[in-house]
Amino acid sequence: MIIKLNILLLALILFFSAGCKQQSQRRELARILSERIELIADSANIELLDVYYQPDLISELYRMSGKMFSPLWSDRENIDQLMDFLREVHLEGLNPEDYHLSKLELLMEKIVDSKTPDTEDLAELELLLTDSYLLLASHLGRGKTDSETIDPQWHAIHRNPDVDWVSFVDSTLRYRVVKETLQSLTPGHREYSNLKKALAKYVAIEEKGGWNAFNTSLRKLEKGINHQDVAQLRTRLSVTQVDIPFDSVNENYFDEALHQQVVLFQMRNGLTADGVVGRGTIDALNIPVEERVASIRANLERWRWLSDDLGDRHILVNIANFELLLIENGKTIFKTEAIVGRPYRRTPVFSSRMTYLVFNPDWIIPPTILRNDVIPAVINNPNYLNQRRMRVITRNGENVDPSTIDWQRAASHGFPYMIRQDPGPDNALGLVKFMFPNHHNVYIHDTPSRELFRQTERTFSSGCIRINQPMKLAEILLDTNPGWDMQRINQTLAEKRSRTVHLQRPVPVHLLYLTAWADDEGIVYFRRDIYNRDEPLLTALRQSTKSSEEEEI
């Protein structure tokens, strides 16, 4: 195909060279392009809308380029670069057929096989190349799919490249930088490029047939055991990790080197990292490579949705990894374990700005928790409120005797009061909460339930983020507030009164949902899709591209 493409490009050069006949053919091509673009611009022309995905932009581009419908793709270097990029675009997690790859190759072959280039075919080639470039640029720049259509709870700050497409395409083709401009539209985050490398690795594994299923007749495998299934375990791990050295000449012996590789695998997959190969580890080992590739593709798309500017200093919570990171100038300066919402009370994905902290917070119970949890609990246990130091209050803050309330009626007809939990170590919010305004009523806070952090999957909240080291986070966030150090924080806590402290340096907060990522060393991590958010996204990615009415730039 490459040889034929070179012949095609030679034909194009001859076609567009000087000479009376060539000038006549150029005028004919311009006429055909003009007619086709008129048809493309006609929104009632359903047939062409099924062929070209960016009809409005194609029309605008050729009308505004000032070239009187002259072809834009008359340079060999530009076509070469676009076709090369299309053949590798699966490594961006995208489908080459969305960008006419097969159509382009077949059309080029047809043109090459004919004695002289047919102007109708050249016009079709021209417009397909343009449509391919524009659509690919759109998908690289902001994602193929619409985040909020896929997941109504996805409201993170979005990428929205502000591009003058006429000037952009003109300069791209004039300076022969098709590959560079397409690459420039991909996310600038290091996480995206790391994940791309991971995709290439797993695609290569997939092309070699993946890995064999691993099973054992034993209940578990662990260090010190000698069994034939140990050799099989070594083989399986070596596919996605490294060729594992062993401390003895016996490959069936579960030695320390293998133990460390099992621990690494468990860490990479969000499992208890004890080095013991039990049911959970075996299940993770047997997830097929196709699912791993799909997971990486889904998360590449999520990064394409996300703005390149998350803030020099920002908080990133990966809901699927139950972890909070504080990142400054691209480096993680603090991280801690997190607890997130139950599957039926999902923590939403969104971006906001943390502006203040509250030490010794009280807790006004949100309506959803009040309706679904607290009122039913009071009906079952009249001492529930006293046991948790909760008070019923009016909107004006006046106390109400709980015994005077018809709780059964409140459960069915609504509750006219509020319930407040006083500050203290047993308060549901713990000793500090971190506030960033949002309509979800979600925030980050301490918790008295420290034992929950020992779990590997921590879906225990009603949507808010509980963290394991809240005071350390508070200390770092207050580092630009004069006089606020850990001693001052401890003094404030000892007062046992609510105290609001506004941050001198507000911090962007991004609650994200990432089920696959890779670090700078190339280690790839996967997490269970606790909220089942991957499959709707993958379904949308697998669908063929629709018209520009659904895929706006």
Catalytic residue among 155, 314, 464, 510: 464
For residue 350, the domain's CATH number is 2.40.440.10
Query: Of 187, 212, 245, which marks where a domain is finished?
Result: 187
Q: How many CB atoms lie within 10 A of CB 90?
A: 17
Kindly report the CA angle at 187 between 332 and 299, in degrees rounded to 5?
75
Among left, alpha and beta (phi > 0; psi -120 to 50; other), residue 7 is alpha
Judge if 117 and 180 occupy the same domain: yes
Indicate whether 330 and 403 sit together in one domain: no
349 neighbors 153 (Cβ within 8 angstroms): yes
In the structure, what pLDDT confidence band is assigned to residue 550 with cuts at 50, 70 and 90?
very low
pLDDT band at 14 (very low <50, low <70, confident <90, very high): very low
pLDDT of residue 8: 59
Write down which residue in 187, 220, 246 finishes a domain: 187
Q: What are the tens digits of pLDDT across the range 379-430? A: 999 999 999 999 999 999 899 999 999 999 988 888 999 999 999 888 999 9
Given 386, 406, 422, the domain boundary residue is: 422
The count of domains in the chain is 3
Return the structure tokens found at 375. Answer: 């009122």
Q: Is 445 a catalytic residue?
A: yes
Query: Could you tell me if 34 and 108 lie in one domain?
Result: yes
What angle, rounded to 10 degrees, do the helices at 55-64 and 165-174 form?
A: 70
Q: Which residue has the higher pLDDT, 22 or 185?
A: 185
How many degrees, rounded to 5, is the angle at CA 454 between CA 453 and CA 460? Answer: 45
Is 65 within a domain? yes
Q: Within this chain, do residues 385 and 396 fall inside the same structural domain, yes or no? A: yes
Q: Are 53 and 89 members of one domain?
A: yes
pLDDT on residue 5: 58
Same domain, 382 and 430: no
Q: Considering the domain boundaries, does residue 243 fall inside one?
A: no
The secondary structure of residue 346, as a DSSP letter, is: P
Residues 6 or more apart in contact with residue 139 via CB below 8 angstroms: 94, 98, 304, 551
CA distance 99 to 134: 9
410 shares a domain with 315: no
Q: Which residue has the higher pLDDT, 65 or 69?
A: 69
Closest CA to 503 of 539, 475, 468: 475
Q: Is the pLDDT of residue 499 over 70?
A: yes
pTM of the model: 0.92
Q: What is the pLDDT of residue 439?
A: 93
Q: What are phi and psi of 501, to 5 degrees?
A: -125, 120
Q: Say whether both 102 and 183 belong to one domain.
A: yes
Does 180 share its domain with 326?
Answer: no
Q: What is the tens place of the pLDDT at every residue in 427-486? A: 999 999 999 999 999 999 999 999 999 999 999 999 999 999 999 999 999 999 999 999
Boundaries of domain holding 114 = 2-146+176-187
Out of 52-56, 175-179, 181-185, pick the least confident.
52-56
CA distance 169 to 374: 60
Chain segment 123-155, per-residue pLDDT in tens: 999 999 999 999 999 999 999 999 989 988 899
CA dihedral 92, 97, 100, 101 (to 10 degrees): 70
**Domain contains 333:** yes
Options 155, 314, 445, 510, the catalytic residue: 445
- Could you tell me if 338 and 480 lie in one domain? yes
Q: Is residue 409 part of a domain?
A: yes
Query: pLDDT category, 24, cuts 50, 70, 90?
Result: confident
Whether 315 and 441 share a structural domain: yes
Please name which of 351, 429, 370 lies closest in space to residue 157, comparing C-alpha atoms: 351
434 neighbors 354 (Cβ within 8 angstroms): yes
- Within a domain: 17: yes
Query: Per the domain annotation, does 541 fall within a domain?
Result: no
Catalytic annotation on 227? no
Question: Taking Cα atoms as reference points, which of 430, 474, 421 lies closest to residue 452?
Answer: 430
pLDDT digits (tens, 9 = 90+) for 208-234: 999 999 999 999 999 999 999 999 999
Classify residue 378: in a domain, yes or no. Answer: yes
Q: 498 and 392, same structural domain? A: no
In a domain, 448, yes or no: yes
